[in-house]
């Protein structure tokens, strides 16, 4: 996510916050707009799911979702009662977690409400870490899909490993999977992608997605033919990266994705601490 987008969204979310007796809160009708929901009924479904999530954590729903009704004027000049909620930061976080992270507003909100400090640099870091986790999850899902697809076309697990290694060879300029692990100091029994930066994970995912599409579209069969297809797609992606001066094999490894996942989850769980609740 671009820094300018983060700054813009941060300003909008900050300006929509209220405070009462030392407790910050947001109004559901305003949060609906911030998160890009056009229909109140759809947003109400997200609120109900968030309430269920709140129950499973052992938190009292009434501490985080407070019903409020207000009178609004109609075009005729008459007034009617409108349903709304006062939402704590934790309630907003749960609502965001039930949204689609592919939408910028949702992805931002998931980090914004998880990071209790308002320091801009910490918010940016949290978003960056979440984006890397999301990219890794997408790659894993795409590789599983490809594995299932080619298994039906005469390629076993060993063959899939060979295809993937040849793809890495093409993407990393002549370094196959094992060579890249040695180069980056990664244990042989750990997945290479768990230590790659987001840009490289995304590159691998794109090449794999194209391979999966073409295998199905062109009814490709057999390890050698599918390997040829996967190598071509990884070379194409490498060429695209090269136009921006990026050589994947020269990028430094990043924090183990498993450790990162635990750290992000730990940070998110801090929202559950009692001290942040109104007594």
Q: What are phi and psi of 77, to 5 degrees?
A: 95, -15
Q: What local confidence, expressed as pLDDT, does residue 186 receive?
A: 94
* pLDDT digits (tens), the chain, 279 positions: 777 887 888 888 888 888 877 678 889 999 999 999 988 888 999 999 999 988 887 788 888 888 887 655 665 556 667 788 889 888 898 999 888 878 888 988 888 887 754 455 566 677 788 888 889 999 999 999 999 999 989 899 999 999 999 999 999 999 999 999 999 999 999 999 999 999 999 999 999 999 999 999 999 999 999 999 999 999 999 999 999 999 999 999 998 998 888 877 776 666 555 434 443
In this structure, the number of other CB atoms found within 10 A of the CB of residue 213 comes to 13
Q: Would you kindly state where each structural domain of the chain is located, as residue ranges?
A: 3-113, 130-263
Tokens of 29: 């009708």
Distance CA 103, CA 36 (A): 8
Tokens of 17: 């916050």
State how far the alpha carbon of 169 is from the alpha carbons of 33, 90, 95, 130, in Å.
46, 45, 42, 28
In this structure, the number of other CB atoms found within 10 A of the CB of residue 88 comes to 23
Q: What local confidence, expressed as pLDDT, does residue 277 receive?
A: 45
State how far the alpha carbon of 48 is from the alpha carbons of 91, 101, 251, 278, in Å.
11, 18, 44, 21
Distance CA 209, CA 216 (A): 11
Distance CA 191, CA 170 (A): 17
State how far the alpha carbon of 43 is from the alpha carbons of 24, 34, 47, 151, in Å.
21, 11, 6, 41
């Amino acid at each position: 996510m671009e820094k300018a987008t983060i700054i813009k969204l941060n300003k909008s979310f900050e300006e929509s916050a209220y405070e009462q007796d030392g407790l910050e809160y947001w109004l559901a009708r305003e949060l609906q707009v911030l998160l890009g929901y056009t229909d109140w009924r759809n947003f109400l479904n997200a609120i109900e799911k968030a309430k269920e999530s709140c129950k499973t954590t052992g938190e009292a729903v009434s501490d985080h979702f407070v019903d409020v009704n207000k009178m609004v004027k109609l075009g005729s000049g008459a007034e009617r009662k409108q349903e709304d909620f006062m939402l704590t930061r934790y309630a907003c976080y749960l609502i965001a977690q039930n949204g689609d992270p592919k939408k910028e507003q949702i992805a931002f909100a998931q980090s914004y409400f998880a990071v209790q400090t308002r320091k801009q640099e910490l918010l940016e870091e949290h978003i960056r870490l979440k984006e890397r986790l999301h990219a890794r999850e997408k790659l894993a899902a795409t590789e599983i899909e490809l594995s299932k697809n080619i298994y039906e076309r005469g390629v076993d697990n060993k063959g899939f490993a060979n295809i993937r290694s040849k793809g890495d060879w093409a993407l990393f300029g002549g370094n196959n999977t094992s060579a890249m692990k040695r180069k980056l100091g990664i244990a042989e029994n750990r997945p290479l992608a768990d230590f790659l930066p987001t840009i490289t994970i995304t590159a691998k995912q794109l090449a794999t997605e194209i391979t999966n599409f073409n295998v199905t579209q062109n009814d490709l069969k057999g390890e050698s033919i599918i390997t040829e297809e996967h190598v071509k797609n990884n070379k194409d992606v490498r060429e695209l990266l090269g136009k921006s001066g990026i050589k994947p094999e020269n990028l430094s490894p990043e924090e183990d994705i498993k450790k990162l996942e635990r750290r992000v989850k730990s940070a998110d769980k801090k929202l559950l601490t009692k001290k942040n609740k109104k007594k």
